[in-house]
A = this chain, B = another copy of it.
Amino acid sequence: MSANSDALLALHCARLGIVFEDDIRPGANYDVAVEHDGQVWISGQVPRVLGTIAVSGALGAGVSLDDGQRAAAICVLRALTILRQRLGSLARVQRLLRMSVYVNSDASFTQHSEVADAASAILYEVFAPHGAHARTSIGVVALPKNAAVELDLVVALQRP
């Protein structure tokens, strides 16, 4: 990817008015990301900003589509911030492999793809013109800390 990716990530965070910790750490005994053999596996991210879940609850049961999309955007920005912190720069990313998006929803909700689109759009902008990724979106009955959305990523790095 280009060095622009880091600037675009910062721009998207600024637009949403969010600032993440300088060194994002997991809550417990696992790691936020594992790099091995040219792949980085990023742990499931909820829309947490400085210790607070920005969007809580379930789509179809009180959380609007707009708020769900904002949650998805914050999740992916948090995942990319972890990636930048680990790699030094997003310029080391070569390809995005899969994003899995877990939408806290009730049984009547069917717009999981529309929620995930908000995260995909950011990937396309930040990594243009190489933002393509496989994606899976599902509805889940509950999420850690009652987050509205959780997502994880697998990315491939440039070979040295």
Contact = CB atoms under 8 A, between A and B. Distances in A.
Interface of A: 26-34, 36-39, 41-44, 58, 60-61, 94-100, 102-103, 105-114, 116-117, 120-121, 124, 131-146, 150, 152, 154, 156
A29 B117 contact: yes
A144 to B, nearest CB: 5
How many monomers of this chain does the complex have? 3
B41 A38 contact: no
A154 B41 contact: yes
A142 B105 contact: yes
B134 A144 contact: no
A62 B140 CA distance: 19
Given A30-B133, A133-B31, A141 B144 contact: no
Nearest to A58: B107
Contacts of A34: 95-98, 132-134
A36 B102 CA distance: 24
